[in-house]
Amino acid sequence: MIRSALLLALLAAFPLSHAASNNLSTVSERSGFQATGRYDEVLSLCDAFQQAYPRQVKCIEFGRTPEDRPMKALVASGTGAFTPQEAKRQGLPVTLMQGGIHAGEIDGKDAGFQALREVLAGRLAKGALDRQVFLFVPVFNVDGHERFGKWNRPNQRGPVEMGWRTTAQNYNLNRDYVKADSPEMQAMLGLVNAWDPLTYVDLHVTNGAKFQHDVSIQVEPVYSGDPGFRQTGLALRSGVIADIAKQGSMPQSYYMSFVKTDDPMSGFMDSVSDPRFSTGYFQLRNRMALLVETHSWKDYPTRVRVTHNTVISILEQVAKNGKAWLQAALEADARALKLAETPVALTYRTTDKSKMVDFQGYAYTRTPSSVSGMLMTRYDESKPQVWRVPLREEVVPALEVAAPRAGYIVPAAHAAMVAAKLKLHGIVFRKLDKDIGKADVETFRSDTAAFGATSFEGHQRLTVAGTWKAEARDITRGSLFVPIAQPKARLVMALLEPQAPDSMLAWGMFNTAYERKEYMEEYVAEDVAREQMAAEPNVAAEFQRRLDSDPAFAKDPHARLEFFAKRHSSYDERLNLYPVVRAKAAP
């Protein structure tokens, strides 16, 4: 009886038989990694993993796509932490890994399922699920995945058929982390807000030239975000690169795209992505993002193997170091509470400082094309060659802005729109229930405002130049106060600082503030000009100085009349005034 009971207990703990293991294999594996399955395979595997491992896996739906497909995730835990609350209670770091944000780059789906099965079976990363919660989203861009066909990625070797880069609404999800227009991103941010992953892993396939290296591993924070948290990001990056190098990969820590397109000798440069990208976004939340980019010209079996090895390495690294890394993240949260009046980098740049490195490439020629007339590079993959090329990897802040003393105030007229975005990111704010009256705040009036010439991701972007200046403004009931003293302070600034590259202003959400709506007829402006010069000699003198010193102004009749129109009481003082203000004290 005792032996029977023990056998039953062991079977319950390890219910995956060889037959069950076969049932959890993928179309990709069964095809020898030549093909990839359709999304119905994800749905069936999600349920099958839960059925095979009811004590370690839960299959959840966290959203619906525009074409009404379910967005699925597998929650894997060796300690029963199947809810965010339980993960937090146990003090477990959460690793959230997604495949198929660009659904033609689908290595992550097939590699992730294979890796999860091996971890659950105890063959790899033993015990890793006892020291973290693993959230696996096999396909992020589900509708794009089902736009299935051959040659959707002509500059990629395999699989035979694959999905599409963008969503059914033609959004590129890896441009949507901050503006969060797409239902898919809104669902993902809901998952992120609930689980608060320490590590967010974004699985891709790169474009680019032909060379021997098979994968790049990029992590932030390394150059960006909270300075005290950057060593944690560097430790993750170094650990993963070392692990997969031991397994035969040739990883690099930078995106392997030439500084000059199609010119190998121009070398490479490291950089920090803007917040619209995953690696630019999560450092603003004091969390780590790891970007895996397998090389598109490696065949599909190779790319899946490399991605699989990377997945295993990440799980092992978090299992080994996750508790300490989570504490470092929480310490970064605490420092963010004291960010007021501290310079914060909104953008970064790579300096001209370089070093020469050996890069494993192939022999190549560069000759003019008889088709396009362009100078084209052609590679001979039968002839490995070491390229001695420059690498620029010194990254420094470009635009720094001091954080506001207290926070931001969003006027009631824009409160609903801004509140909806803030909620998507889990940012704390409150709505004012009474008029404040005149308040000593900072306003941003633009010296220049340039609209994008074309639509980008459904928006006409806006770039402004100007400075914050002290000014008294009316603060009314219904306005929002967004305190800077919160863990996501850097994300608050990324959204609300007008010159931040992915701010709400930059994405065109305040464009009407920069559109002139009221005008003065020219014959009226003529009379106003004469009246102003007669009444105010200093205006007449300034007008004459402009005529004498600025030939372009002197030749432009409209600019000359505008000189006086701006001094008239009918001129719109709100034109080019950013509606959001910075508060020196909490209202």
pLDDT tens-digit profile of 129-164? 999 999 999 999 999 999 999 999 999 999 999 999
Does residue 2 surpass a pLDDT of 50?
A: no
Report helix, strand or coil for 159: coil
Spatial contact of 240 and 292, defined as CB atoms under 8 Å apart: no
Residue boundaries of the structural domains of the chain: 15-335, 350-397, 400-516+575-583, 522-565
pLDDT of the residue at 6: 35
Quote the pLDDT of residue 112: 98
Q: pLDDT tens digits, residue range 292-347?
A: 999 999 999 999 999 999 999 999 999 999 999 999 999 999 999 999 999 999 99
Average pLDDT of the segment spanning 174-197: 98
Closest CA to 29 of 244, 246, 308, 311: 308
Residues 137 and 93: beta-carbon distance below 8 Å: no
DSSP 17: -
- List of E strands, 329-397: 343-345, 348-350, 355-368, 375-392, 395-397
CB 191 within 8 A of CB 75: no
Q: What percent of the chain has pLDDT over 70?
A: 96
pLDDT band at 482 (very low <50, low <70, confident <90, very high): very high
* Cα atoms in the Cβ-side hemisphere of radius 13 Å centred on 340: 16
pLDDT at 569: 87
CA gap 574, 579 in Å, rounded: 8
Query: Which residue carries 């310490």 as its tokens?
Result: 331
Q: What is the mean pLDDT of the chain?
A: 95
CB-CB contact of 52 with 15 (8 Å): yes
Helix, coil or strand: residue 113: helix
> Tens of pLDDT along 540-570?
999 999 999 999 999 999 999 989 888 988 8
pLDDT in tens, 264-281: 999 999 999 999 999 999
35 pLDDT more than 80 = yes
The residue with greater pLDDT, 566 or 27, is 27
| Residues 237, 201: Cα–Cα separation, whole Å | 12
Per-residue HEC secondary structure of 480-528 comes to EEEECCCCCHHHHHHHHCCCCCCCCCCCCCCHHHHCCCCCCCHHHHHHH
DSSP secondary-structure letter at 411?
-
> 351-389, pLDDT tens digit by residue?
999 999 999 999 999 999 999 999 999 999 999 999 999
Cα separation of 504 and 511, whole Å?
A: 10
pLDDT greater than 50 at residue 11 = no
The terminus-to-terminus CA distance of the chain in angstroms comes to 72
Give the pLDDT mean for 197-219. Answer: 96
CA 73 from chain center: how many Å? 20
pLDDT of residue 1: 36
Q: What is the pLDDT of residue 565?
A: 87
Structure confidence at residue 31 (pLDDT) = 97
**Tokens 């003065």, located at residue:** 520
Residue where the block lists tokens 């006086």: 564
Contact of 379 with 258, CB cutoff 8 Å: no
Angle formed at CA 207 by CA 355 and CA 302, multiple of 5 degrees: 95
Q: Which range has the worst mean pLDDT, 3-17, 332-346, 502-516, 526-540?
A: 3-17
Q: Average pLDDT of 440-458?
A: 97
> Which is nearest to 413 in space by CA: 478, 361, 467?
478
Q: Encoding tokens for residue 108?
A: 């992550």
Nearest to 403 by CA among 510, 482, 514, 508: 482
Nearest to 131 by CA among 315, 314, 286, 309: 315
- The tens digit of pLDDT for each residue in 83-132 reads 999 999 999 999 999 999 999 999 999 999 999 999 999 999 999 999 99
Residue type, 531: E
The confidence score (pLDDT) of residue 22 equals 60
Element (H, E) at 269: strand 268-269
- CA 154 – CA 263 distance, rounded (Å): 21
Please give the CATH topology (third level) of the domain spanning 15-335.
Aminopeptidase (3.40.630)
| C-alpha to C-alpha distance for 200 and 62, rounded to whole angstroms | 16
The helix (H) or strand (E) run that includes residue 302 is helix 300-336
DSSP-H helix ranges across 121-229: 142-145, 183-195
Residue 14 has pLDDT above 50, yes or no: no
Non-local CB neighbours of 542 within 8 Å, separated by 6+ positions: none
Cα–Cα distance measured from residue 542 to residue 540, given in angstroms and rounded to the nearest whole number: 6
Q: 34: closest CA among 190, 185, 170, 150?
A: 150
313-to-126, 221, 229 alpha-carbon distances in Å: 12, 19, 21
pLDDT at residue 21 in the model: 52
Q: Write down the pLDDT at residue 196.
A: 98
Output the CA angle 538-543-546, nearest 5 degrees: 125
Q: What is the pLDDT of residue 437?
A: 95
